[in-house]
Amino acid sequence: MNNNDIKTNYYDDDIVRKFAMITLVWAGVAFLVGLIAALQLAFWPLNGGLEWITFGRLRPLHTNAAIFAFAGNAIFGGMYHSTQRLLRTRLFSDTLSRIHFWGWQLVILCAAISLPLGFTQGKEYAELEWPIDILITLVWVVFAINFFGTLYKRREKHMYVAIWFYIATILTVAVLHIVNSIAIPFSFMKSYTVWAGMQDALVQWWYGHNAVAFFLTTPFLGLMYYYVPKILNAPIYSYRLSIIHFWALVFIYIWAGPHHLLYTSLPDWLQTLGMVFSVMLWAPSWGGMINGLLTFKGRWHLVRSEPVWKFLIAALTFYGMATFEGPLLSIKSVSALGHYTDWIVGHVHGGALGWNGFMIFAMLYYLVPKLWNTELYSKKLAEQHFWLGLVGIILYYVSMVVAGVTQGLMWKAVDSNGLLVYPEFIETVVRIIPLYWIRALGGLLYIIGFVLMVYNIVKTVKSKKAPLTDTAIANLVNENVKDNQPRLLEGYATVFSVLALLAVLVGTVIEIYPTLNVHRYVNPEITTQPFSALEQEGRDLYVREGCYLCHSQQIRPLVDEKLRYGDPSTIEESIYDHPYQWGSKRTGPDLARLGKKYPDMWHYRHMLDPREIQPKSIMPAYDWLAKKNIDYSQIKKKLNVLKNLGVPYTDEQVQNADVDAEAQAKVISEGLKQKGVAEKIENKEIIAMIAYLQALGQKGKK
Amino acid sequence: MFKQAFMNFSDSHLIVLGFILFMGTFLGALIWTLFVQNKLFYKQMSEIPLNKGGENGKQ
């Protein structure tokens, strides 16, 4: 058999095997890093005093590994496997498939190295710096060419609904990544996003929410529409429903991003729009779940003996739960309680571990025996994996929802005199630490189940009966794509792709376009001063350490927040923030009005040892800030880039940035010396950090 | 009522346009699915994963 025969008559199974195996590797990394991060919240010394594995740097590594490495590789493997079979042709190019595979692993490797080193753009799920962003774009283009090339050479005229979801995924992720990642570099691994403040918040959550939608939902729905019928050997319950499901979902999802910014200084109309469209998402999401579950109709009795079926049913159930809870949390009054708390963490993990994780496990349990031409080594181990995983998710989810609701209610508790019942933030943290241990136990059970799976898969692969070969393409004579018979919309890949892209772009344009002119929303009586050179340097350190992952900088116009933190945040206050640092979680208190609240010495002691200020604090010590020198060599470049992005620095401020920064550092360090600090700290990073923290809430005042 | 509903919205023409486009898409998909295409086509489409190639399909 020559190379041409293989390319014409056989599917490329080798690339699917590669993606399947690497999925397991990165899953292990993502889960383990997640467990360590979870344990650090229950027991703060677990970072071992090492900056590289401190929570603020570890958490982005966990989320990126889980989303882009674990789920990403699984998606690519599943898409390449199912697309070939649904279109009855080998992938467009073996070379592009391999460039895609190795390129994506390079992206992940770069992320795994750069994130612990503190190279981050400071935007959730989009932390990777500009050279890696460019690499992602190139790999995605290779993937797109390979996929659409396969569509072009297909033998099956009409595209099955799974292919639609794949098309929407590839096009939308490209748009999201490019728009959100636009940045101006000032060094090899550092840049400032072109978006600022409220605008950046909107673009970031338009991206962030749709990363969930078009990276963790639409491709998985495509996989569901292929693998559920395939594993059950029965067609999907209602093909009609799948069509309505697709169009309604891709149209509505893109509008929902602003529900992450309810009660913030984002314009009200955007918040309302985000909330309304989020609630509307209930219908298509549940349509998809019901369609999947009803495919089991008449076969429920078989679920008892088939662990893979159990994974599918649980995955669909978690999809239903997560897509019920998401719109619920998007209602403003519910968001007032749940936002910034661990409830959101529970919600996300219900979807990620239950829907994405279980769907991937089901797919791999089905695929590996097929691809290695053998039987699954042990159904019993798969069964045990399922129950361990399920109990793990339930423990995780319940503990986090209870923690979130508890903390949310404690934050809000006001007595009959109109005073906070729990004025000390730490009281609300200590109360939920036992739940952090339960969360970690849930995660551990999930990982033990995963280890059983790895063992099961390795034994299965080792039991292969013959040398590995690719699967022959069935029904080769059918070339109905070239039969000159009339087609329906599903038969025109280009027209279909354009329509899907338009459905996504409508919401994008309507939400983002008006905010491009941010001055429409700004009070003209307020003049916002930009950060000084040293404060900006401190801000970059704040971003490097991932402080935004535990501290928000956005006070909502709610009674308890006004009592605890002060006046609600305004658009003006963050108008020059590249990137915005509003945050999405309050493991510690909001910092929007921290500046001038405490003396410099308080911050110095607190950063070096938080327990010295608050004995029960779970914040790690940042003693390396007092050891590392400020890099004054970059400051001019930084201010110059920011000036070009619209921050009102004068030419003189840019030219004298390093001198000004050193002068301000000297003033702060002299003050600290007078208070008894003996160490030589004038050029240390902690001085820049103190300068920034003292500037918070001092800009954009009336 | 409409005036009240839109008083907190700037660029309300964009919202109305978005709503019309959404309703158009949704109704279009509904009409297309329920009335234009026939049952036989859906049956054929839904069986693509099972009939056309693959390891456990009805070859």
Q: Which residues contact A562 (CB under 8 A, 6 or more apart)?
A: A555, A568
pLDDT higher than 70, residue B8: no
Give the model confidence (pLDDT) of A182-225 as tens digits: 999 999 999 999 999 999 999 999 999 998 899 999 999 999 99
Per-residue confidence at A589, pLDDT binned at 50, 70, 90?
A: very high
First to last CA, chain A: 78
Q: What is the pLDDT of residue A514?
A: 78
A235, A503, A520 member nearest B25 (Cβ): A503
pLDDT for B59 equals 34
Element (H, E) at A185: strand A183-187
Query: Could you tell me the pLDDT band of residue A482, with boundaries at 50, 70 and 90?
Result: low
User: What are the structural domain ranges in chain B?
Assistant: 15-49
Window from A43-52, A152-161, A590-599, A637-646 with minimum mean pLDDT = A152-161
- Rounded to a whole number, what is the distance in Å from the CA of A395 to chain B's nearest CA? 36
Q: Which of A361, A347, A234 is nearest to A292 (CA)?
A: A234
pLDDT at A588 over 80: yes
Q: How far apart are CA A381 and CA A379, in angstroms?
A: 5
Task: Set out the domains of chain A in order of their start, with CATH numbers.
Answer: 11-156 (1.20.120), 528-701 (1.10.760.10)
Number of neighbours of residue A466 by Cβ within 10 angstroms: 8
User: Which of A158, A160, A503 has its CB closest to that of B49?
Assistant: A160
Question: How high does pLDDT run on average in chain A?
Answer: 94
pLDDT band at A702 (very low <50, low <70, confident <90, very high): low
How far does A638 lie from chain B, in Å, by closest CA? 35
Reported as a pLDDT band with limits 50, 70 and 90, residue B27 is confident
Contact map slice: A 341-380 vs B, CB within 8 A: 370
The pLDDT of residue A597: 96
In sequence order, which ranges of A468-589 are alpha helices (DSSP H)? 493-512, 533-544, 559-565
Q: What is the mean pLDDT of residues A400-413?
A: 98
Q: Do B33 and A156 touch (CB under 8 A)?
A: no
Arithmetic mean of pLDDT, A54-76: 97
Cα distance between residue A549 and residue A122, in whole Å: 9
Tens-digit pLDDT profile for residues A564-587: 999 999 999 999 999 999 999 999
Is the previous residue joined to A610 through a cis bond, with omega within 30 degrees of 0? no
Instruction: Give me the DSSP letters along A521-542.
Output: GS-TT--PPPPPHHHHHHHHHH
- The yes-or-no verdict on residue B58 having pLDDT over 60 is no
- Two tokens, residue A582: 């509003």
Summarize the confidence of residues A414-419 as an average pLDDT. 96
pLDDT at B37: 72
Q: Identify which of A348, A286, A278 has the alpha carbon closest to the alpha carbon of residue A316.
A: A286
Helix runs in A372-415, H state only: 379-412
Lowest mean pLDDT among A406-415, A523-532, A537-546: A523-532
Q: Where residue A313 falls among pLDDT bands split at 50, 70, 90?
A: very high
A-chain residues near B4 (CB < 8 A): none
Q: Which residue has 């941010």 as its token pair? A: A518
Q: Is the pLDDT reported for residue A548 higher than 90? A: yes
The tokens describing A265, both together, are 């200084």
Q: Which residues of A touch B32 (CB under 8 A)?
A: 243, 489
What is the rounded CA–CA span in Å between residue A16 and residue A82?
Answer: 10
Q: Determine whether B36 is exposed, middle or buried from the number of CB atoms within 10 Å of its CB (0-12, 13-18, 19+).
A: exposed
Cα separation, A513 vs A179, in Å, equals 12
Q: How far apart are CA A372 and CA A370, in angstroms?
A: 6
| Model pLDDT, residue B56 | 42
Mean pLDDT, residues A12-40 taken together: 98
Say which residues have a Cβ less than 8 Å from residue A189's Cβ, sequence separation at least 6: A114, A119, A129, A130, A131
Query: Which pLDDT score, from 0 to 100, does residue A476 have?
Result: 63
pLDDT of residue A461: 96
Kindly report, residue by residue over A621-669, the tens digit of the pLDDT.
Answer: 999 999 999 999 999 999 999 999 999 999 999 999 999 999 999 999 9
| Residue A282 Rama label (left phi>0; alpha psi -120 to 50; beta) | alpha
Chain A positions in Cβ-Cβ contact with residue B11 (cut-off 8 Å): 269, 510, 514
pLDDT given for residue A520 in this prediction: 81
* Contacting residues of A for B46, CB less than 8 Å apart: 229, 235-236, 239
Above pLDDT 90, what percent of chain A?
87
Q: How confident is the model at residue B57 (pLDDT cuts 50, 70, 90)?
A: very low
Cα distance between residue A337 and residue A304, in whole Å: 40
- Please, which residues have CB within 8 angstroms of residue A570's CB and are 6 or more apart in sequence? A265, A523, A526, A700
Average pLDDT estimate for A55-64? 97
Task: Summarize pLDDT for A430-457 with one digit per residue, the tens.
Answer: 999 999 999 999 999 999 999 999 999 9
**Residue B3 in tokens:** 């005036």
CA distance A475 to chain B (A): 7
Identity of the residue in A88, A233, A255 whose CB atom sits nearest the CB atom of B56 = A233
Looking at per-residue pLDDT, the higher value among A524 and A531 belongs to A531
The phi-psi region of residue A583 (left if phi > 0; otherwise alpha if psi is between -120 and 50; otherwise beta) is: left
Task: Kindly report, residue by residue over A250-300, the tens digit of the pLDDT.
Answer: 999 999 999 999 999 999 888 988 999 999 999 999 999 999 999 999 999
A 475-504 residues inside an 8 A Cβ radius of B: 475, 478, 488-490, 503
Q: Give the whole-angstrom CA distance, residue A590 versus residue A562.
A: 11
Looking up tokens 């493997």, which residue turns up?
A77
